[in-house]
Structure 1
Amino acid sequence: MERHQVALYLAALAVGGLLGGAAPGLGPGLEHAVNPVLGALLFVTFLQVPAAELVRSLRDGRFLAAASTVNFVVVPLVVAAMFTFLPSDRAVRLGVLLVLLCPCVDYVIVFSGLAGGSARRLLAATPVLLVAQMALLPGFLYLFMGSDLAGVVEVGPFVEAFVFLIVVPLALAWALQAWAARRPAGRRAADAASTAMVPLMAATLLVVVASQVPQLGDSRDDVVAVVPFYVAFLVVMAFAGKAVARLFRLAAPACRAIVFTGATRNSLVVLPLALALPDALAVAAVVVVAQTLVEVLGMVAFVHLVPHLVPSDARAGSGAR
């Protein structure tokens, strides 16, 4: 499965799209399955990073500074450059802002690891990135759209995501690591869980796509209008992430991780925010869904392209470590 994982992921996307189109009534039920399957995926991801390594990586100030810079300085500047060219509809603009201004804290770890990026460092950065986006998003919305829309952001979905997608899977992974260190049965359980990475990633992509395709409905024109911006964002952030990593003199694995964290967005967490908006702004949810579909395809491409953009034997700077 590992040798053919990219093909499996593409197949999962295709099946999810077909299922969502053929049986739209399944959408609401599948939407409830997104967080459980994503939580299981992150549990397996966390299981592969020893607790002691994670604690040590939290002291990696250079990487955390690079991740914060690319996500909360560079990304807002890129979005500001795009903002004038976005469709004038307020709901469309709000949806784009909600999704592009929030860095991913879930499957970015998996995709970065597939491309040889430092999953350990990204994992350590996730609490920082999630808390920072919770604090900064209202201010960003105020700057871009004024005070009337800055208040639409609620912290509830962010807190729920932090607990169920970060805290609980991480605690379970650490508990299994402790069991594996003491008992043969624990080691067997940990080894068995680790083999579930590829099928869980495929399941996550299938469920996300199948649950969101029915929501596109009659808003295809709005989707078509924003897709080029999402594609352009991925391309720009690939090079911007590399530039930031070079600025902080990071080695290739950390550099690749910075490229991924700058390009991937927190669509699965901000989607509940968009769905909770008033009816007049309902299109924002469709715009967020569109970014999810573009991004998962983009991440499959990134897995192949980022190792060429940041070769494994390259150093981001003479002081890389």
Structure 2
Amino acid sequence: MRTVVDRMETHQVALYVAGLAIGAALGLAVPTVSGPAGALVEPALAALLYATFLGIPFARMGEALRDVRFLGTVLAVNFVAVPIVVLLVSRIVAHDRVLLVGVLFVLLTPCIDYVIVFSGLAGGAKDRLLAAAPLLMLAQMILLPAYLWLFVGADVVRTLDVAPFVRAFVVIIALPLVLAGATQWAAARTRWGAVLSAAVSGAMVPVMVLTLAVVVASQIAGVRSELSSLLLTVPVYVLFAVVMTPIGAVAGRFAGLDVPSRRSVVFSGVTRNSLVILPLVLALPAAYDLAPLVVVTQTLVELVVMVVFVRLIPRLIR
């Protein structure tokens, strides 16, 4: 079993690419699969975060919470640098209000879920990112309406509902975190708890492959149907990732952070909260009916970027 796990970890990037390809092929060949696949996205994310949290020593969480330099750097990158970059790169779609609104929703909200996973795979400080997740969630709930008001006006802000934020945080972060803590507690006291903990930790790669496949399968058909309109957003998302990578790296070095923390700052600055804010965008008026697919397009682009970053960031930040 250990040999199988080691082999999966060695070839994890190839397996993630395969997951993306399988999801795309299935979603395009059988468009009706988008419904069942969409229903699996949230449970798959919760399982992925549970497996991730099992690898985080909770005894060190207090230390991570006291790392003011890391928390301050992550907040500054996401809520000072990111809005400036978003304002600039979004000019590409500024002529189309619907595309602009979708781009702003997704790029102004930092990821709180699978960023922890990808950062950990690249040797980042996943315990510190986990400690930062509640702060990032709270800050984006407060600041997103303000940024939208500044960039597009008050009419979009009036439609916002914070309930999807809260629900996503409870289901995807809080519950897996509690379950992982309970598993670690049991593992320290019983033989079966240790076996379960080892088994779930070994399932990290296949769970990630499953998550990538169901996310892509659930969304790819909708994106294809509006591809001509959505293509203009792709360079926005790619340019955002390209610009935010050196900004995050420089911010981490300027703050005097260690290598794992600097890698995590880069991942946090690049990765967006697309799956969490999608319900907010779906609740927008009918005039913005294309905006959810604008958000979904960012997810598809970002997943490819993250698979590349798992190998690239450790080489850029040694």
TM-score range for the pair, normalised by the shorter chain length: over 0.9
**Partner Cα distance (1:290, 1:130) in 2:** 22
Equivalent residue number for residue 245 of structure 1: 252
Equivalent residue number for residue 212 of structure 1: 219
Equivalent residue number for residue 206 of structure 2: 199
**Partner Cα distance (2:22, 2:129) in 1:** 30
Q: Give the one of 14, 23, 27 matched to 2:30.
A: 23
Equivalent residue number for residue 316 of structure 1: none
Equivalent residue number for residue 277 of structure 1: 284
| Mean CA deviation greater in 20-29 or 204-213 | 20-29
Identity of aligned residues (%): 51
The equivalences for 1:6-21 within 5 A come to 6-21=13-28
AA aligned to 1:158 is: F
AA aligned to 2:95 is: S
Equivalent residue number for residue 129 of structure 2: 122
**Partner Cα distance (1:119, 1:13) in 2:** 23
User: Displacement, 1:5?
Assistant: 0.6
User: Displacement, 1:87?
Assistant: 4.3
Query: Would the aligned equivalents of 1:70 and 1:241 in 2 still touch at CA under 8 Å?
Result: yes
Equivalent residue number for residue 70 of structure 2: 63
| Long gaps (5+) in structure 1 | 312-321
Query: Would the aligned equivalents of 1:222 and 1:287 in 2 still touch at CA under 8 Å?
Result: no
User: Displacement, 1:60?
Assistant: 0.8
Query: Would the aligned equivalents of 1:57 and 1:120 in 2 still touch at CA under 8 Å?
Result: yes
Q: Cα deviation per residue 1:242-276 (whole Å; 9 max; x = unaligned)?
A: 11112211111100000000000001101111222
Find out whether 1:77 has 2:84 as its counterpart: yes
Larger helix fraction of residues: 2
User: Displacement, 1:79?
Assistant: 0.6
Find out whether 1:92 has 2:102 as its counterpart: no
AA aligned to 1:55 is: G
Find out whether 1:112 has 2:125 as its counterpart: no
**Partner Cα distance (1:173, 1:115) in 2:** 21
AA aligned to 2:26 is: L
Query: Would the aligned equivalents of 2:82 and 2:269 in 1 still touch at CA under 8 Å?
Result: yes
The equivalences for 1:223-238 within 5 A come to 223-238=230-245
Equivalent residue number for residue 136 of structure 1: 143
Secondary structure of the corresponding residue to residue 92 of structure 2: coil
AA aligned to 2:236 is: F
Question: Taking structure 2 as the reference length, what is the TM-score of the superposition?
Answer: 0.96
Secondary structure of the corresponding residue to residue 87 of structure 2: helix
**Partner Cα distance (1:203, 1:134) in 2:** 29
User: Displacement, 1:44?
Assistant: 0.6
User: Displacement, 1:217?
Assistant: 4.6
User: Displacement, 1:151?
Assistant: 1.8
AA aligned to 2:299 is: T
Query: Would the aligned equivalents of 1:87 and 1:225 in 2 still touch at CA under 8 Å?
Result: no
**Partner Cα distance (1:272, 1:217) in 2:** 20
Find out whether 1:3 has 2:20 as its counterpart: no
Q: Give the one of 297, 301, 310 matched to 2:304.
A: 297
Equivalent residue number for residue 318 of structure 1: none
Q: Cα deviation per residue 1:270-315 (whole Å; 9 max; x = unaligned)?
A: 111122222210111111011001000001111111112111xxxx
**Partner Cα distance (2:64, 2:224) in 1:** 44
**Partner Cα distance (2:138, 2:36) in 1:** 29
Q: Give the one of 22, 45, 54 matched to 1:38.
A: 45
Query: Would the aligned equivalents of 2:119 and 2:264 in 1 still touch at CA under 8 Å?
Result: yes
AA aligned to 1:181 is: A
Secondary structure of the corresponding residue to residue 190 of structure 1: helix
Q: Cα deviation per residue 1:134-154 (whole Å; 9 max; x = unaligned)?
A: 111111100000111112221
**Partner Cα distance (1:301, 1:214) in 2:** 24
| Mean CA deviation greater in 242-251 or 289-298 | 242-251
- RMSD between aligned alpha carbons? 1.0
**Partner Cα distance (2:67, 2:267) in 1:** 18
AA aligned to 1:79 is: V
* Paired residues, number: 311
**Partner Cα distance (1:306, 1:151) in 2:** 39
**Partner Cα distance (1:257, 1:230) in 2:** 19
| Long gaps (5+) in structure 2 | 1-7
